[in-house]
Amino acid sequence: MKKTILITGASSGIGREAAKLFQHNGWNVIATMRSPEKELELNQLDDVLVTRLDVQDQSSISGAIEEGIARFGRIDALVNNAGYALVGVFESATREQVYKQFNVNLFGLIDVTQAMLPYMRLQGSGTIINISSMGGQITFPFGSLYHSTKFAVEGLSESLAHELYSLGITVKVIEPGSIATNFRGAVDMIKNDIAAYDPIFAGFFNNYAQAASHLTKATPEEVAQIIYEAATDGTDRLRYAVGADAHFFIDTKYQNSDPDYMRQMRGYFIK
């Protein structure tokens, strides 16, 4: 019997590439997105159901799961991929920006996972793959809200991995670094009018580029391949870092004392 996977945020990037890869490898795919009516590629593939799911809309979550099960009979794996990065001065963030960042990256993931668990529990099997980031293990300045959501995803995933183990449900965490060279283009920016931060923030993106210039960035296709590995390797391995930059920064944290790690990271960004 063919296996079925549901992927959130499948309209672009990692989610789209994962949907194509799983379909190519013989899976049924429920490719979900906020505006499925705009999709022109995935809905042309065999055994792919393109349907609406907005992680901030619980009725769309339950609707997508029910539609997927009606079409394919069961769902064997879930990829919580929907999310975005909010970058800028924390003090300048609006309440609306803070809530949206947490609603999409954390509470939306929680809602989708809770909606899926009853089906996996009754099946006695399933794999939940949460897309975190190297930013769920380490931090950069001006990413406090994004990092806090990804740190929460890491903690949630690790605890659930224990909690669901005896039910036959496996939890995995994917930790990509910056994808290709699009770190700056893939974020929402916080407008800042506080001059005291200008000297630090002005050099942030250039400082990041210099710190990571020698490190290969993963492509969306490479991240999709690791997602496929996590879904099919049959292990209880929890974390999968992707990209040389992710391995470098995560290793920097865990191979140094906390004071040395903090000094090294500030050396990259606070100049």
Predicted confidence (pLDDT) per residue in 115-153, tens digit:
999 999 999 999 999 999 999 999 999 999 999 999 999
Task: Output the domain CATH number for residue 39.
Answer: 3.40.50.720
Section 86-97 average pLDDT: 97
Task: With cut-offs at 50, 70 and 90, classify the pLDDT of residue 179.
Answer: confident
Contact (Cβ atoms closer than 8 angstroms) between residue 12 and residue 85: no
pLDDT at 98 over 50: yes
Least confident of 35-39, 90-94, 210-214: 210-214
Section 192-213 average pLDDT: 88
pLDDT at 239 over 60: yes
Provide the pLDDT for residue 182: 47
Specify the length of the chain in residues. 271
Which long-range CB contacts under 8 A does 110-114 form with residues at least 24 apart?
A: 110/156, 111/55, 111/58, 111/61, 112/8, 112/53, 112/55, 112/61, 112/78, 112/80, 113/78, 113/80, 113/160
Q: Which amino acid type is present at position 194?
A: I
- Total domains in the fold of the chain: 1
Q: Which domain holds residue 159?
A: 4-269
- Which sequence positions are flagged as catalytic? 132, 146, 150
pLDDT at 183 over 70: no
How far is 236 from 49, CA to CA, in rounded Å?
Answer: 28
Ordered strands of the 169-176 beta sheet: 48-52, 28-33, 4-7, 77-80, 126-131, 169-176, 239-242
How far is 10 from 28, CA to CA, in rounded Å?
Answer: 14
Predicted confidence (pLDDT) per residue in 207-224, tens digit:
888 888 889 889 999 999
